[in-house]
Structure 1
């Protein structure tokens, strides 16, 4: 059990934990609402309820100031599991710095389709990342859609 803001994962990860908990209980024939699963996750981290933990998780972390991003900066990361190098073309900061919308122009396009007889190459992507450089949105296998290696 923890009650430290710096130990909290991003809000998207907390929600995923609640979905996983609910699915595991349903596999054992225990019915649990999504809101009840969220409340249980909050209590596991030492918070009294979901509203409290979600407010804490959305606050900027102390290391956010050190992760300054600038238009024109070259970044590395992965999109849909594919590594890339890209130029930062757009940046919008919101939620007090806890979330950032980034628009990236990739040096080499990535194929966003995993089907042998069809391709859809994308060279410009936009996504919302948290303080850790990861998107809350995940692929079907549970990995973040967008992951940036943030500068120190």
Structure 2
């Protein structure tokens, strides 16, 4: 089981649980699924788990989230397909909606549709181009 970092993740797990049990002929209400997820994560009930997750520091990135930003100075939109913590940073793997050309020369191209990089909590990669621009910048929604 993965550790929950947000209420959204908990609700997603509850939905997946409901779907899986329904496929096995064991229907479950959404409220019942939320309660089961709460118990699985060491909470007395859903309200307790929700309060604990709401108080915890929210991670800036979550699996399957839609993101936008710039890679090698090229704008992109895509989806987070994998995450791994690397100290204070995050190794992130993105599947882009449309490939981006990372070469700035007219004579040839290098299209990328999948990106794997390390970014800090601010969404910027520590690695930079020769002009000081981060290789990857992911826009983090405020709120």
TM-score (norm 1): 0.54
What is the aligned partner in structure 2 of residue 82 from structure 1? 74
Aligned-pair distance for 1:140?
1.2
Which consecutive residues of structure 2, in runs of 5 or more, have no partner in the other structure?
Answer: 1-55
TM-score (norm 2): 0.57
Q: Which has the higher helix share?
A: 1
1:73 to 56, 65, 68: 65
Contact 1:67-1:151 at 8 Å conserved across structures: no
Aligned-pair distance for 1:117?
1.2
Which consecutive residues of structure 1, in runs of 5 or more, have no partner in the other structure?
Answer: 1-63
Aligned-pair distance for 1:66?
2.8
- Note the alpha carbon deviations across 1:58-99, whole angstroms, 9 max, x for none: xxxxxx93344221110011001111111000100121xx10
The higher radius of gyration belongs to: 2
- Note the alpha carbon deviations across 1:7-54, whole angstroms, 9 max, x for none: xxxxxxxxxxxxxxxxxxxxxxxxxxxxxxxxxxxxxxxxxxxxxxxx
Aligned equivalents of 1:117 and 1:68: distance in 2? 38
RMSD: 1.6
The 4+ residue runs of structure 1 with deviation greater than 4 A are none
Aligned equivalents of 1:83 and 1:119: distance in 2? 16
Using CA pairs below 8 Å that are at least 6 residues apart, which structure has the higher relative contact order? 1
Q: How many residues align?
A: 87
